[in-house]
Amino acid sequence: MRPRSLHIVRIATFTIFAISVLLAQHHRREPKAYDSRDVASHNCYDASDPSEIRLWPGAAPGAIGADPCRDIPYLRVFRPPANVSKSGQGFIVIPGGGYDRLSDTKEQTPVANYFSQQLGVTSFVLYYRLVQLDGSYRYPVPMWDGQRALKLVRTRARDFGINPERVGLFGFSAGGHLASTLTLHSATDFDLPVHDKIDTADGRPNLLGLGYPVISMDPSQFAATSSHNHLLYGYTGPALDHLQDYLSG
């Protein structure tokens, strides 16, 4: 990358980061007790909604069922309005929540809406699979969903009116960990068991933005206990030691 291009990317990254932090602060409110019924009702895949796009046409790899609130990872697209100049940029927003839930909507719809409605950036919110009480959907399933989302958007970029070389990720908290992991390890497929044409696309984002991200899975550093325990549920011994290092920025 030429120095000028790198400078522009750095400016863009900082600008998007600042906007997102301001949005998060604006929408901040007192936390409420987690209720899986509330989250499920908001985050369930709706096949009748044209703005929602399944990551896989059939069952996702490793799916344990077909529950639209648990087993179907998908994207929700936010397109710029006709009166806003289109930037050609695409951004996938990845909400946090400790890998076992998705955080409230301050990290989802408000950010994607702002990017699309005010900045002309076609935006997507990623609803990835969450670790269940029995450990289902632990690592590497969220990575499969995140990487598939990026490759799907890049493959269908022209359908969305964006440049396939301008697809970025923005993650908050645990979603920031997911976004940075996808970037750092874009050359791997995290042992995805099945592949199709979409999986051959480049998995490295062109732009990365992080909002208060989880940056480590190493308990001796800055690992967030909730994210660590959920993502690495059931891993022990050398396998756990390896993943704690591999999944740290």
Six-digit token string for 143: 């990575």
Taking CA atoms, 176 is separated from 80, 107, 118, 238, in Å, by: 24, 11, 23, 25
Which of 6-20, 31-45, 81-95 is predicted with the least confidence, judged by mean pLDDT? Answer: 6-20
* pTM, 2 dp: 0.85
Residue whose entry in the numeric block shows the structure tokens 């690592």:
139
Please say whether the dihedral angle defined by the alpha carbons of residues 227, 231, 234 and 237, taken in this order, is positive or negative. Answer: negative
With a cut of 90, say whether residue 72 has pLDDT above it: yes
110-119 pLDDT per residue, tens:
999 999 999 9
pLDDT tens digit sequence for 189-205: 999 999 999 999 999 99
Look at 138 and 2; give whichever has higher pLDDT. Answer: 138
pLDDT at residue 10 in the model: 41
CB 117 within 8 A of CB 84: yes
Q: What is the pLDDT of residues 126-167, one digit of tens each?
A: 999 999 999 999 999 999 999 999 999 999 999 999 999 999
Q: What's the rounded Cα separation, in Å, for the pair 97 and 79?
A: 25
- Go through the domains of the chain in sequence order and give each one's CATH number: 3-246 (3.40.50)
